[in-house]
């Protein structure tokens, strides 16, 4: 049976790709699931019984049983098993949902950060990070003379396939490994709102809306994903931009401004007139940066988002979306500031993030962000709010803004701090 190896089994993968694959193929593809470190999830998925996907639609909840993962690997306990799985002749595709931080990209250059702790450790011993495991796995496959694989990122990064391919070749060069030059790295846009759940055996909750746009760039066979309405196309960039700059951008605004205002869930923040009005302004700005192919459909896309964000039953936590902000804003908000002459609402999102981070710091409450220690250092070594603002804006990749922009940012942060609390 043809097989996919998926790195990063979590709710999103189980609500999105696994569902598309289960619906596409009358059961003729199987997935090997790699859990990076969540032992209870590993155990829950290892009994082969599958899981329940609860789809919350306008007419109530529809439940589906999905049982497509017939092999599980715990990468933390057995990293070598992940590498060896690449030498399976039935394997055709490797997919990933490892979130923005899993790529270990340098904030300045967007390429693999050879100095990040995970990559340094991988280069000096048994690889454990997704990037190290993938590169070693691909090298093993190539040395075994097996056909080239398709390696597909399913994370919210612009040009995710290109970034992944570049990261793996940089790692391979550094580690002296050979990759098959025919390996393909398609770009993808993935979309389905899927809240985190604390209980691993509980149904995975998701919305009825779902989109998947995949670049037609495969090394070998693939499931008939178009049957379950994935779109296979030559250029994913317009869809990727629209999704990151409308859906994800608004999510981040709601996450920081919403928590400062005392809300816990997306639907609550959306019901607030001020926050909701700002979402529309943010979308007006974002729309100016979207490419022609998606312009005509953008008003309908926006209207659908308003409905998607309003579903009470989703209970989509702002805290979940607010995690890893220094990496997320770089993808979804900073391009608006760098590309537009004026993007006042995008600037407000940065201000809300900074105010959120400052509140957390003041309260000595842990910030969930891979750059938490750098952020703390910027806050502690800057003697005033303007310096903190410029240090944090720089960290997320805001470039070449005039002093007046930073002064404005500072005023907004101060005004948010005077009002809100987290
Ligand atoms: C969210 C996304 O947590 C976040 O950062 O913006 O996970 C979002 O829900 C998905 O991209 C929707 O497809």
Closest protein CA for atom 6 of ligand 1? 248
Point out the ligand 1 atom lying closest to the alpha carbon of residue 16.
13
CA of 213 to the centre of ligand 1 (A): 16
In contact, 164 and 96? CB cutoff 8 Å: yes
- The model's pLDDT over 250-277, given as tens digits with 9 standing for 90+, comes to 999 999 999 999 999 999 999 999 999 9
> Cβ neighbours of residue 196 under 8 Å, at least 6 residues apart?
11, 317, 320
Pick from 45-54, 234-243, 317-326: least confident = 45-54
Point out the ligand 1 atom lying closest to the alpha carbon of residue 328.
5
pLDDT at 420: 59
pLDDT at 58: 77
CA of 192 to the centre of ligand 1 (A): 8
Point out the ligand 1 atom lying closest to the alpha carbon of residue 191.
13
Distance between CA atoms of residues 250 and 53, nearest Å: 26
pLDDT at 187: 98
pLDDT at 34: 98
Residue 2: both structure tokens together: 């043809």
Residue 175: both structure tokens together: 């580690």
Which of 247, 255, 353 to mutate to test ligand 1, by most ligand atoms within 8 A of the CB atom? 247
Give burial (CB, 10 Å; 0-12/13-18/19+) of 108. exposed
CA of 157 to the centre of ligand 1 (A): 11
- The model's pLDDT over 168-189, given as tens digits with 9 standing for 90+, comes to 999 999 999 999 999 999 999 9
In the structure, which protein residues have their CB atom closer than 6 angstroms to any atom of ligand 1? 156, 191-193, 247-248, 251, 320-321, 328
Mean per-residue pLDDT, 2-28: 94
Closest protein CA for atom 8 of ligand 1? 193
Mean per-residue pLDDT, 58-78: 94
Mean pLDDT of all residues belonging to the chain? 96
Give burial (CB, 10 Å; 0-12/13-18/19+) of 226. middle
- Residue 111, SS3? coil
Point out the ligand 1 atom lying closest to the alpha carbon of residue 251.
6
At 83, is the pLDDT very low, low, confident or very high (cuts 50, 70, 90)? Answer: very high
Mean per-residue pLDDT, 290-310: 96
pLDDT at 46: 95
Closest protein CA for atom 1 of ligand 1? 321
> Cβ neighbours of residue 330 under 8 Å, at least 6 residues apart?
107, 396, 397
CA of 90 to the centre of ligand 1 (A): 32
Distance between CA atoms of residues 385 and 407, nearest Å: 10
Mean per-residue pLDDT, 86-90: 98
pLDDT at 107: 77
Distance between CA atoms of residues 361 and 352, nearest Å: 14
Point out the ligand 1 atom lying closest to the alpha carbon of residue 324.
5
pLDDT at 110: 86
CA of 248 to the centre of ligand 1 (A): 6
* Element spanning 77, H or E: none
Point out the ligand 1 atom lying closest to the alpha carbon of residue 192.
13
Point out the ligand 1 atom lying closest to the alpha carbon of residue 190.
13
Closest protein CA for atom 5 of ligand 1? 321
Distance between CA atoms of residues 204 and 64, nearest Å: 10
Closest protein CA for atom 4 of ligand 1? 321
CA of 193 to the centre of ligand 1 (A): 6
Task: Identify the CA nearest to 349 among candidates 292, 269, 239.
Answer: 269
In contact, 354 and 415? CB cutoff 8 Å: no
Residue 257: both structure tokens together: 């401004």
Which of 251, 254, 255, 315 to mutate to test ligand 1, by most ligand atoms within 8 A of the CB atom? 251
CA of 247 to the centre of ligand 1 (A): 8
Residue located via tokens 């996450």 = 255
Higher per-residue pLDDT: 363 or 58 = 363
Mean per-residue pLDDT, 225-240: 96
Partner residues linked to 57 by β-bridges = 60
Task: Identify the CA nearest to 203 among candidates 41, 12, 13, 53.
Answer: 53
Q: Is it the case that residue 294 has pLDDT exceeding 80?
A: yes
Point out the ligand 1 atom lying closest to the alpha carbon of residue 247.
6
CA of 194 to the centre of ligand 1 (A): 8
Closest protein CA for atom 11 of ligand 1? 191
Task: Identify the CA nearest to 354 among candidates 408, 401, 414, 399.
Answer: 414
CA of 177 to the centre of ligand 1 (A): 34
């Amino acid at each position: 049976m043809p097989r996919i190896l998926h790195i990063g089994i979590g709710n999103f993968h189980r609500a999105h790709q696994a569902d598309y694959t289960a619906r596409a193929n009358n059961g003729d593809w199987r997935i090997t699931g790699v859990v990076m470190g969540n032992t209870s999830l590993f155990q829950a998925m290892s009994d082969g019984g599958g899981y329940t996907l609860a789809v919350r639609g306008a007419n109530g909840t529809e439940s589906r049983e999905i049982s497509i993962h017939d092999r599980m690997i715990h990468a933390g306990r057995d990293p070598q098993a992940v590498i060896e799985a690449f030498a399976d002749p039935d394997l055709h595709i490797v997919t990933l949902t490892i979130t923005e931080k899993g790529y270990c990209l340098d904030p300045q250059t967007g390429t693999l950060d050879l100095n990040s702790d995970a990559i340094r450790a991988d280069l000096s011993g048994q690889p454990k990070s997704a990037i190290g495991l993938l590169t070693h796995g691909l090298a093993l496959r190539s040395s075994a003379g097996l056909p080239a694989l398709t390696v597909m990122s399913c994370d919210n990064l612009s040009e995710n396939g290109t970034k992944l391919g570049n990261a793996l070749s940089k790692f391979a060069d550094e580690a002296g490994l050979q990759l098959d030059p025919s390996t393909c790295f398609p770009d993808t846009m993935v979309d389905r709102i899927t809240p985190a759940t604390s209980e691993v055996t509980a149904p995975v909750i998701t919305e009825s809306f779902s989109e998947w746009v995949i670049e037609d760039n495969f090394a070998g066979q693939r499931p008939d994903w178009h049957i379950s309405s994935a779109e296979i196309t030559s250029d994913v960039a317009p869809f990727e931009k629209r999704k990151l700059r409308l859906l994800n951008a608004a999510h981040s605004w709601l996450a920081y401004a919403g928590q400062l205002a005392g809300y816990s869930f997306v639907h609550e923040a959306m019901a607030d007139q001020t926050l909701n009005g700002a979402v529309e302004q943010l979308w007006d700005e974002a729309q100016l940066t979207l490419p022609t192919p998606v312009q005509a459909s953008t008003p309908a896309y926006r209207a659908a988002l308003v409905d998607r964000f309003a579903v009470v039953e989703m209970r989509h936590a702002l805290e979940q979306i607010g995690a890893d902000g220094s990496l997320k804003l770089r993808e979804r908000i900073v391009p608006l500031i760098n590309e537009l002459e004026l993007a006042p609402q995008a600037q407000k999102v940065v201000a809300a993030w900074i105010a959120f981070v400052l509140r957390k710091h003041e309260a000595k409450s842990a910030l969930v962000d891979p750059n938490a220690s750098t952020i703390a250092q910027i806050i502690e070594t800057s003697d005033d709010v303007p310096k903190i603002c410029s240090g944090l804006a720089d960290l997320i990749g805001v470039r070449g803004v005039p002093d007046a922009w930073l002064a404005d940012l500072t005023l907004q942060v101060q005004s948010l701090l005077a009002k809100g609390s987290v």
